[in-house]
Structure 1
Amino acid sequence: MEAFRKAGVPAEKIIVNDRLDVALAAGAGGVQLTESSVPLKQVRPFLRQLAAGCSVHEPAAVAHANEERADWILFGHIYDTASKPGRKPRGLETLQAAAYASRVPVIAIGGIKPHHIREVKAAGAKGVAVMSGIFASKDPAAAAASYQTAIKKEEINDMHIVVNGKSTPISLQELTIEELLASYSLQGKAVIVEINGHIVPKERLGLTTIQEGDRIEIVQFVGGG
């Protein structure tokens, strides 16, 4: 715990596996309870400000975790993994059933590689948990970076803004208002652009970056008589 803190990891980002006592003593952000841990409903009064997740392996167990007010669900294993030798993976269809049944985010775990991120997300998972994919690598830092790149790519693909009342997907992480106007063939034309209720000055169109969920109104002046 201290090593993570010294490395700059905020305490609220640290989740302790199984050991509620350690999580409380260390001031961690939460605890991950396994199927062999003390049931969440029994420890909930002691959690204080800690978040708590539950590990489950069958969609039928998802409802129980929801009833116990888990903050998230760790579901797996999704693919073959060395940590579960000889045990059949749950697969994407079972993950999808679990995600559909859950009221809280489902995090997929088990044999997940960077190239799996897209299909795991499509199955309804809100995130992934990785152990051997990073820690068993000859270069853990590079392995972690490859997962981060794959995740960010999917986050970018999932970004939407609202333009003149219509939800519109955007595929660029750094998209400016000027680039947006160019995509509508409006660059250089007489328009007024309003973003989240504020008019963007003409000289700021190429400097103002669009963010996920922004509401943009474009008014074009058309001559006539």
Structure 2
Amino acid sequence: MFVLPRLFCLVSSTDDLALLPALAGAGVEGFQVRDKSATTAELVDLTRVVLDAVAPYGARVVVNDRVDVALATGAAGVHLGADDLPVAAARRLAPDLLIGATCRDGEAVRRAAEEGASYAGFGPVARSGSKAGLPEPLGTRALGEAAGPLPLVAIGGVDAQVARAAREAGAHGVAVIAAVWRHPDPIAAAKELVRAVA
């Protein structure tokens, strides 16, 4: 069974992949490969690049949306959104994978737990500019109310301050994009986030 990271950093092909070993060395335990525009072959290649960069540091890699790519590359897991393969089907196909499910409320978290999810990605907890079409921020109170059936990974507008508040509200950990990749010093930002979720 895989240990669930406290800090996930999402990665796409447009990010500076040369920084991945330093991010893992700074204590980022999890990386989620998410590239909506990539072909299957490109996503496989990107996942392998990420795995090669961070696995020596003990970091885990999950693939966004694609159970097949996670299995093909030997990634630790997959993160599924509402329009992806249902969690129960993914669990039947991949009984040993870490499986995350995007959830927006406590009922969704309970359903995901019943279907075999390992954790729930809960959010957006704060305002995010990294993904279009998100609902209004749910806040840490909603996160606290949803905690219990599964470990929650807070996502959406997470910086170090939000990460601390999310952990205090009951989140197991957080997932970030802009807090690392849009920061002037991504490694320093990663270290601050690691401290925030400790």
SS at match of 1:7: helix
Q: CA deviation at 1:12?
A: 7.3
Instruction: Indicate yes or no: 2:117 matched with 1:55.
Output: no
Q: 2:193 aligns with which of 147, 150, 157?
A: 147
Q: Do 2:110 and 2:150's aligned partners in 1 also have CA atoms closer than 8 Å? A: no
Q: Name which structure has the greater RCO, CA cutoff 8 Å, separation 6+.
A: 2
Q: CA deviation at 1:9?
A: 1.7
Instruction: Indicate yes or no: 2:53 matched with 1:7.
Output: yes
Q: What is the percent sequence identity of the aligned residues?
A: 36
SS at match of 1:9: helix
Q: How many residues align?
A: 150
Partner of 2:152: 106
The answer to which structure has the higher helix fraction is 2
Task: Write the deviation string for residues 150-174 of structure 1: whole angstroms up to 9, x where unpaired.
Answer: 223xxxxxxxxxxxxxxxxxxxxxx
Letter matched to residue 48 of structure 2: E
Partner of 2:81: 34
Q: Do 1:12 and 1:29's aligned partners in 2 also have CA atoms closer than 8 Å? A: no
SS at match of 1:74: strand
Instruction: Indicate yes or no: 2:96 matched with 1:21.
Output: no
- Name the TM-score, length of structure 2 as normaliser: 0.69
Which sections of structure 2, spanning at least 5 residues, go unmatched?
A: 1-46
Q: CA deviation at 1:6?
A: 3.1
SS at match of 1:14: strand
Partner of 1:97: 145
Task: Write the deviation string for residues 180-201 of structure 1: whole angstroms up to 9, x where unpaired.
Answer: xxxxxxxxxxxxxxxxxxxxxx
Q: CA deviation at 1:87?
A: 3.7
CA distance in 1, matches of 2:51, 2:144: 35
CA distance in 2, matches of 1:75, 1:106: 6
CA-based RMSD: 1.9
CA distance in 1, matches of 2:95, 2:161: 38
CA distance in 1, matches of 2:110, 2:95: 23
Task: Give the direction of change, closer, same or farther, for the CA distance of 1:78–1:47 in structure 2 (3 Å limit).
Answer: same
Q: Do 2:112 and 2:120's aligned partners in 1 also have CA atoms closer than 8 Å? A: yes
CA distance in 1, matches of 2:54, 2:127: 33
Q: 2:176 aligns with which of 130, 152, 155?
A: 130
Task: Write the deviation string for residues 5-63 of structure 1: whole angstroms up to 9, x where unpaired.
Answer: 33242587111111111001001111111111111112222104212111111222111
Letter matched to residue 108 of structure 2: A
Letter matched to residue 69 of structure 1: G
Q: CA deviation at 1:131?
A: 1.0
CA distance in 1, matches of 2:59, 2:183: 27
Q: CA deviation at 1:147?
A: 0.8
Q: Do 1:12 and 1:30's aligned partners in 2 also have CA atoms closer than 8 Å? A: no
Task: Give the direction of change, closer, same or farther, for the CA distance of 1:139–1:87 in structure 2 (3 Å limit).
Answer: same
CA distance in 1, matches of 2:95, 2:160: 35
Partner of 2:11: none
Deviation beyond 3 Å, 4+ runs, structure 1: 84-87
Partner of 1:66: 113
Q: Bigger radius of gyration, 1 or 2? A: 1
Task: Give the direction of change, closer, same or farther, for the CA distance of 1:2–1:42 in structure 2 (3 Å limit).
Answer: closer
Q: Do 1:12 and 1:28's aligned partners in 2 also have CA atoms closer than 8 Å? A: no
Instruction: Indicate yes or no: 2:126 matched with 1:79.
Output: yes
